[in-house]
Chains A and B, each alone.
Chain A
């Protein structure tokens, strides 16, 4: 029994696109105000971090100059940053089911919508509560003004004076060096990494998303110059939702990377990660409504792969590879207390992306990304082998008219396109594309 029909999927996609992309989170002028550094010191082109900014973050938002504790700040300093992006955008979904005179869902149209719109709002407050105790709190609104906590964590940094011992607890982003929260894209189709959220069509695993912030504990360690980084996180398989929908299911995320300085080319980094765990396949309900803490029928899932950041002076490449698979109960959307369809298998896939940046200077960056997901095993035997495959392309640039130490502003045009095989209401490929022009404010 399919929980997610194709049309529903498309509908969700549309809603998703029209209400704006996932709001990428962190570029924090409050840090610039605190330390007197321009944004360009920590960010290649904000919000993407450079090697100095990544070290600052890994040190617990500290410069380690004995002036990190908030007592050194003017009492009027308040570590708050606001980010919002009013924009004009155009969304296109090539096959959408609509009601016609002939009856419900009898028409298929190419839906194009465009106009001026708002993104969600991020309120970021981050920094140190004390020497070696850092925090990040992000109350975030979608563009209708509905708030949730995107991040809320505290971290004990440099425990026993060692950079190898940092413990973070709360709701946080996985330690992805290629961070989706600091992605340089903002459009509905471009502002996310498909592989950070990918589950095959009709797969009921809502939890296996390494791009969503999760609630749990993380140990992280790094060498003093931040060239070696490793971390291990234990989270509840709630996909960051509150009130324990996954009841007693947990997941783990481990990653490590090593960077090498290569003279005038820059610093190259390679690493690997694994995300694995179990999550419920259905929920106990009361009056038809899922009850908190009611997730049962845990089945497993995993994503693993490698990544690299390759720098060639002003051009750099972010490379990402993933192999993923979900349990067959997830793949076939079968609750664990029901029978599997005949021939059910664990769906698995391989995918990757290459994201190229040309950072002309701290005030102008060009971004291009190509992403592919290829199913290697379908959950049901009759399914065409290319069903669910994704091709995604994004082209954008960001121009920052000023770069200083108080606030940020970027003019951001973007074009992105995502095509998934077989998921349109009529079984053909579903293509959606975005044209986006935004004014990205950050104070």
Chain B
């Protein structure tokens, strides 16, 4: 009799534990606050970034008085760090985590007749807040690939206009953004699922809120394309990934 009782208790406790574990697997709980850190470097000499002639719009020229803006196809910081690289988890994300959408919108500004940030990463269904900080009219014209599932649009944004809200429906790395009025303006919106990061000027990045697990991490740069790495994240032990792109 006593052994039977013990058995019953053990069984129910085990089931309870299993339930808890199962349940905890469905939500991003404190246990999932892992991260992936790393750096992206460029090996070799980056292509020369040309100064941009903004004379078609004197307002843009004024914004860069004495210090013209340059093209941003490859932005390399000190120590060879490659900026504007999108890092995301292309494989291994549990569906529940993949469909999590941060409530904070990603900001995308037009300043000095350039897109800031040059490359923005955003989740599927996450809102973007597009603003115009310039005293000149821009038009925001995202151009998703035909058939990707994302639909492009074209809206004007004069100075002082309210922010534009944008949402993307499917993963796409990346959506080209252009301004027809200022043809030198190029930007990207990388639409991904799950946690993401964009490398800064020194090439370093931190992907937050990564639950423990094994993942394929993809790094995307607009000129050099993608690279992947397998990374394992454990509780209390962040994963690391470093990427090196070769200049052609």
Chains A and B touch (C-beta atoms under 8 A apart): no
